[in-house]
Structure 1
């Protein structure tokens, strides 16, 4: 017998005359099949301020962005993890982009409800409104985040308003027949709770018509009281049928996927055969696999079997795949989607037939400076691709960089990757320390100070320094620091003393990117990447040599003519 799935109905009504661009957006998305079971139904509403020059774009982007990213998160994530990660990533992008827009911003209030199984999960920020009508009880589920400035009320909390997003989260059980109403702050001062109940209950068979009645009544009431009544929107969602209750069902936090057992060459898992064991650490196992159906080779990463009960690590492990999926770059390892359902907890990446940068350096001691700089530039592009998606790698070192037979560089190992958040410094640092610091890690990881993009810049520069010189930039490895006094004693060892081919400009750039004080490094990684171009000093020297060659030639001719003239005088 087929499992009974969640079933619902919804209706919408929107009022926005053409003479004014609307600033609100709403949507309901009902997926099918396994996605409905694993991710549920999404109902959203967003609203920007009327003084925003791009209010329409802000409202539409928040809704479309959430829906696209939420349904792209791993199916074994729970609702709260998926929605929270998506909202924070969306907030970070909106906040960063708003600085480039004159007279507008991507700031919007938003309420997003995810209906999955027999529960509703509500995520709210700003002054949009969500009500629940259950029987005769009409209850507001959201609270307003507003502040008064100069007689106007503005959201004190909203998507894109600040780098740090504070989200109200409400989790509530569902009952068959529950009605959820989504609307915006414009309705304040028009309809009373009794009006809502009466207008909705007068005919619940047609939810679109019910929303239209609400809009007309709100417009009429606004006109009577002298309010602006041209920006109303209403959305109703009704629970028609709940899925069957499963009291003995285990928690779905990790999608009921067990951690794979210890595997050896020849073992099989979910239609994949182990070709080789690539890595065994305290946190994870990495295997080279072959798909028995397509014959394609790939890399499987799974949590270590002994860590199956450590939910804190498992939560981050689940984050790794989603983080890597967000990055699209030829210099960053790609995630591979399996064509059939997984029965265990792991993720797959493309297999790269190559060698680590550490091995490459030992095998090619005579490699030219141009070759090494080409590798350095590719590695810088990989880190830039991560940073554009607000991802910190935190484990950049020669062992995590692969080079294939064609010289293509690919950054791998996302064990310590972390989404860059204003409140995430401590979590990012603790994660990196849990995975393990390397001799290329920035000093702030050992000294419990804030970490960020410039921490990756340090690790990148340290790796490039090693690539160019075969040694480390400081006598004491940063991961061995104990106090800030040790930090002040760090003295940079010029790369030119170990490799005279390194230009003074490049050495200065390395010195700055490797400054023990995070605030003194390059503000943007692009500035350091620019310095990795072909040595400019050498180019200028070549130009100077080219300019001197004609002068030397004519000076020689003049000398020969003078000598002939003297000889002619002597022979007379």
Structure 2
């Protein structure tokens, strides 16, 4: 039986007659199994476009920046999207930096290969070289982007050369035993294809030794031709094993597990003992459980036993843990790993000992405005953390916000969470409607319009409004809308009429974030949160930040009028 994961071996060799002339860089990154399945393994080689003081920095930057940024992209992005966006960003930075230096540039040729599942994705710009050895067939996969000028060859395309980057992209199926060679332009004119095949096959079990043989043979051949001063890089990658199938989608990992039966306090499942039933709905069951091995308390969420295998919510449930475990924020409930293999379909979350925001508000009716705004700020950070990973929560309301004894906020319940750019908007709305619309849901959910980050912004603003006033911003709640003509009945009730302590600037910020028309709200969550902070500081802080106070224009024109009057009097006296 074939292994369940991709397995690679690699070797490297570098030869530089003069270390000061080093202008190449190469690297391999094989991450842990979970990230290997989601993002793949990366193999890169980079070569500076010319000899100059910044050559080595340019080559190193191309490799290290790609590795750092590629693995930071959202896991649900496909390989092409992730790598292309990283390379375009890197190109823009290198191009701007090159225009600010006089001795050299940050221009480099780059070949990046991402091995994922049963395919390799090749991204290439410049004159670095990529070959594949399959059996006795030795084939060049990259295309040379070079221009001949006066007998010299220069890259016609490279990272940092122009404001725009024209990348070659190829998606290549893998076979077990494939060997890939990455090298630099300095090897041109030294070895023949038969030399590569012979030197690699001489002992393919030791790839480092094979790279050393290639480097030594190329250097000897270069010396014979009187061009032995070029640095040489060789990197070999062998495919040792391929997975049976792709495992990037969580349904393939967890979809075959059965739904747990109805559980009661005292029942045990997979080494977890049920302490209490926290929630029972038509879609899910939520239990407080204790890990018998470690003694820690957690929350277990499982689909309802009544759900059929074709239910839309069950299909969506498979995404929830996979999505939220990729969001790292102290203000979002953390997904926990099970200490034993799971025999049923569920996921575990950290147990937060505290109250929901609804309970907290009922127990603290005298809480100050600052306390309430501090909770609002933490909740904003939680929603923004989800948005940074392209996740929409879609159910932000007081009952899904937990507050511990120290006043720390944790956003919970991911039953309606949705990945932007992956699921369709309509499918997202069906899931939300099945889970249930709330009085804090944005109007577009009830009307079937497109949803996005500004929909979460509405729910967040509605929750903050409720926290400050105890009421809702509209007499007709959005979840009761039936048609677009009903939007005309949504008349904003000023928060200041319900709570005079709310500053006018804060009321204006909430009014905009709660606009029934999604396009008229703040463009980004960061802008909404910034305006909230500015409004919280009050008019004095706004004046210090350079915002003109309302009384300043009238005082200015009063001063102008006074000066004009004085000049008029002087003109009469001097006649």
Aligned partner of 1:45 in structure 2 is 43
Q: Any conservation in 2 of the 1:287–1:301 contact (CA below 8 Å)?
A: yes
Measure, in 1, the Cα distance between the counterparts of 2:312 and 2:179.
34
Measure, in 1, the Cα distance between the counterparts of 2:47 and 2:307.
48
Q: Any conservation in 2 of the 1:429–1:445 contact (CA below 8 Å)?
A: no
Once the two structures are superposed, residues 480-504 of structure 1 have per-residue CA deviations (whole angstroms, 9 ceiling, x without a partner) of 5566665577443322222222110
Aligned partner of 1:378 in structure 2 is 378
Rate the CA distance shift 1:21–1:315 in 2: closer, same or farther, 3 A.
farther
Q: Any conservation in 1 of the 2:29–2:43 contact (CA below 8 Å)?
A: no
Question: Does the alignment pair 1:499 with 2:499?
Answer: yes
Rate the CA distance shift 1:96–1:337 in 2: closer, same or farther, 3 A.
farther
What stretches of structure 2 of length at least 5 have no aligned partner?
50-54, 99-105, 543-575
TM-score (norm 1): 0.70
Measure, in 1, the Cα distance between the counterparts of 2:129 and 2:76.
18
- Work out the number of aligned pairs and report it: 503
Rate the CA distance shift 1:389–1:477 in 2: closer, same or farther, 3 A.
same
Match of 1:62 among 59, 63, 66: 66
Once the two structures are superposed, residues 309-343 of structure 1 have per-residue CA deviations (whole angstroms, 9 ceiling, x without a partner) of 45986675454334433333322111222333333
Q: Any conservation in 1 of the 2:181–2:236 contact (CA below 8 Å)?
A: yes
Match of 1:103 among 88, 97, 107: 97
Measure, in 1, the Cα distance between the counterparts of 2:155 and 2:386.
40
Measure, in 2, the Cα distance between the counterparts of 1:223 and 1:443.
76
Q: Any conservation in 1 of the 2:331–2:378 contact (CA below 8 Å)?
A: yes
Aligned partner of 2:300 in structure 1 is 300
Give the SS at the match of 2:252: coil
Aligned partner of 1:208 in structure 2 is 208
Give the SS at the match of 2:383: helix
Give the SS at the match of 2:325: helix
Moved more, 366-375 or 507-516: 366-375
**Structure 1 residue 20 displacement after superposition:** 5.5
Matches within 5 A, 1:541-556: none
Aligned partner of 2:424 in structure 1 is 427
What stretches of structure 1 of length at least 5 have no aligned partner?
74-81, 542-572
Rate the CA distance shift 1:449–1:289 in 2: closer, same or farther, 3 A.
same
Q: Any conservation in 2 of the 1:24–1:233 contact (CA below 8 Å)?
A: no
Measure, in 1, the Cα distance between the counterparts of 2:168 and 2:302.
32
Aligned partner of 1:412 in structure 2 is 412
Give the SS at the match of 1:508: helix
**Structure 1 residue 113 displacement after superposition:** 1.8
Q: Any conservation in 1 of the 2:275–2:288 contact (CA below 8 Å)?
A: yes
Question: Does the alignment pair 1:264 with 2:263?
Answer: yes
Moved more, 512-521 or 261-270: 512-521
Measure, in 2, the Cα distance between the counterparts of 1:490 and 1:166.
52
Give the SS at the match of 2:338: coil
Rate the CA distance shift 1:341–1:447 in 2: closer, same or farther, 3 A.
same
Rate the CA distance shift 1:476–1:347 in 2: closer, same or farther, 3 A.
same
Q: Any conservation in 2 of the 1:10–1:236 contact (CA below 8 Å)?
A: yes
**Structure 1 residue 348 displacement after superposition:** 1.4
Aligned partner of 1:464 in structure 2 is 464
Matches within 5 A, 1:307-318: 309-310=309-310, 317-318=317-318
**Structure 1 residue 237 displacement after superposition:** 1.7
**Structure 1 residue 525 displacement after superposition:** 2.9
Give the SS at the match of 2:413: coil
**Structure 1 residue 221 displacement after superposition:** 6.9
RMSD: 5.0
Measure, in 2, the Cα distance between the counterparts of 1:269 and 1:131.
52
Rate the CA distance shift 1:138–1:21 in 2: closer, same or farther, 3 A.
closer
Measure, in 2, the Cα distance between the counterparts of 1:399 and 1:138.
62
Matches within 5 A, 1:279-358: 279-305=279-305, 309-310=309-310, 317-358=317-358
Q: Any conservation in 2 of the 1:109–1:155 contact (CA below 8 Å)?
A: no
